[in-house]
A = this chain, B = another copy of it.
Amino acid sequence: MSDEIDRNNLNFYQELAEDNKSKVVLMVLDGLGGLPLESGGKTELEIAHTPRMDALACESICGLHSPVGPGIIPGSGPAHLGLFGYDPVKYQVGRGVLSALGIGFDLREGDVAARGNFCTVDEKGIITDRRAGRISSEKNRELCKLLRKIEIPGISIHIETVKEYRFLFVMGGKNLSGEVSATDPQNVGEKPLDPIPENEEAKYTAELIKKFIDKARNVLADHSPANMILLRGFSKRPQWPDFEDTFKVRAVAIAAYPMYRGVAKLVGMNALESGDTLDEEFSILEKNWLNYDFFFIHVKKIDSYGEDGKDKDKIRLIEEVDTYIPRLLKLKPDVLIVTGDHSTPSVLKSHSWHPVPVMIRSKYSRVDTVSEFGERACMYGGLGPRIPSHHLMPIAMANAGRLEKFGA
């Protein structure tokens, strides 16, 4: 087996980890990284007045982390897996599973999930609109009620509205497989594809899916423009090394959005639902301080503002987060990591491939000369300008005194 496989294999760390009751906080400002708002200018984070985070940078080892790989624009799932120590290229999640996480649907072991679209087909069954004229979420909910009535012997079916034309399809039962191809041809002018099993074991599942789709076609026949469905990303909840078992911590996620609690639960963390305000998130953190060793606290809206190109709001929210740093430090975490999961420059209005500022503060961090928490200042930090995101967790755990010596 190759070293690279071993080193990125969490079992490698599992053998070294030990519990010493120390406390580690990972604070993720979603979409933190940015780009200069104008050529030669400053980024959102550089503009933001963040005296407390700058003071933290002075006491931390800083750098920029590369969430997935060079030039890769990370989705939220992979970006968070990296921060949790799971190399997101090695630990890939199916779209169906991500879709379930996104709406807080608890997948059980063995369930197969898929991302569903309502679409429009003509009288010959040929797709004329892959998004069914972007029907409303309300209409979606009505149609999901109809689909839920479909029964397939031997399995249970779950249908949940996601948004507009999108829904979640989950089938539960025995001997199901996620190795089935998508029915979405990704083009109009073609018929929906049959679900094709990718191996012998998936034949049974593909047949069940086919049955469901045939029934769905009948149920929806009179509901144009949403008179057909497309399914893709068939996948099962992956069986990965457990975060708590790997790093020997009691771990909890505090997040307002189901997606982030979902990814945390996927690796075996506990999750606490929070309201949308920072105050609420920090209150939950404080109340639960004695119950856990590892805290992942997630601030969503910085990314949302970036996606909407609202640079001023992104800056304002970063500044608001800054005012909560004292509350965090009052808890005296042994190790504090402040970073983002990826960059969401407001000039791009989307996630981007740019490395993300990070600082790790502990009694045993080898403090560098960075004195400001910003994209360009962090380039010169001791963690370097492109440390893979999944290297951060082992470093944090080492700083917490939670990793034993490797070899004699």
Q: A residues bordering B, Cβ < 8 Å?
A: 2-8, 12-13, 16, 35-36, 40, 43, 63-64, 68-79, 87-90, 92-93, 95, 98-99, 102, 345, 347-348, 350-355, 364, 366-369, 375-376, 379-387, 391-399, 403-408
Contacts and interface: CB of A to CB of B under 8 A. Distances in A.
A16 B7 CA distance: 26
Query: Which has the most chain B C-beta neighbours within 10 Å: A35, A345, A366, A392?
Result: A366
Chain copies in the assembly? 2
A82 to B, nearest CB: 11
Given A3-B8, A74-B405, A353-B398, 12 more contacts: A2-B2, A7-B69, A12-B89, A35-B364, A70-B395, A71-B394, A71-B396, A71-B398, A74-B407, A77-B407, A350-B405, A369-B379
A105 to B, nearest CB: 14
Contacts of A13: 71
Nearest to A66: B391
Contacts of A79: 407
A376 B403 CA distance: 24
A276 B95 CA distance: 52
B353 A395 contact: yes
B403 A75 contact: no
Contacts of A379: 368-369, 380-382
Which of A35, A351, A404, A405 counts the most B-chain CB atoms under 10 A from its CB? A405
Contacts of A407: 68, 74-79, 88, 92-93, 98
B408 A75 contact: yes
Chain A contact residues, majority secondary structure? loop
B386 A385 contact: no
A387 B397 CA distance: 20
Contacts of A68: 406-407
A41 to B, nearest CB: 10
A13 B71 CA distance: 9
B352 A70 contact: no
A351 B98 contact: no
A56 to B, nearest CB: 14
A11 B375 CA distance: 31
Nearest to A387: B386
Contacts of A69: 7, 12, 391, 394
Nearest to A98: B408
Contacts of A95: 408
Contacts of A396: 71
Given A4-B8, A90-B6, A407-B93, A73 B366 contact: no
Contacts of A75: 405-408
B2 A403 contact: no
A378 to B, nearest CB: 10
Contacts of A93: 407
A72 B353 contact: no
Contacts of A352: 364, 398
Give the interface centre of A89, A93, A102, A345 by most chain B CB atoms within 10 Å: A89
